[in-house]
Amino acid sequence: MPADPVLNWLLEESQPSVRYYALTELVGRKADDPEVRSARTAIGRRGWASNILLTQKPEGYWERREPRNAREWLFFLWFPTFSSTIWKGLVLADLGLTAKRPPT
């Protein structure tokens, strides 16, 4: 691994999303590299993405309760800003989580 302390920090295994992007965007590793595949596979299992997924309700949303009327449904996915379902989905996508399961 490189001697750069910042890059070494980004390559730590505790945050697979950061490691994945550091390997692919900074180090230049290809998607089929074993370390890249390992980091990609771990994104939903460890770190920030995993922490977010652990708070998801079985029904698929993050809000405290399901809406009871049309007005609540209008705001359900977007609000509160930065903590509702759509925002959690955006963060998960930024962290590299996709609907497609990565190869193991």
17-58 residue pLDDT tens = 999 999 999 999 999 999 999 999 999 999 999 999 999 988
| Residue 84 contacts residue 63 (beta carbons within 8 Å) | yes
- Cβ neighbours of residue 92 under 8 Å, at least 6 residues apart? 49, 52, 53
| Residue 96 contacts residue 49 (beta carbons within 8 Å) | yes
Cα–Cα distance for residue pair 28/22, rounded to 1 Å: 8
pLDDT band at residue 102, thresholds of 50, 70 and 90? low
pLDDT band at residue 101, thresholds of 50, 70 and 90? low
- The conformation of residue 27, written as its DSSP 8-state character, comes to S
pLDDT at 66: 80
**Nearest C-alpha neighbor of 44 from the set 9, 17, 12, 13:** 17
pLDDT band at residue 9, thresholds of 50, 70 and 90? very high
pTM of the model: 0.80
64-91 pLDDT, tens digit per residue, is: 778 888 888 777 777 788 878 888 999 9
CA atoms within 13 A on the CB side of 11: 17
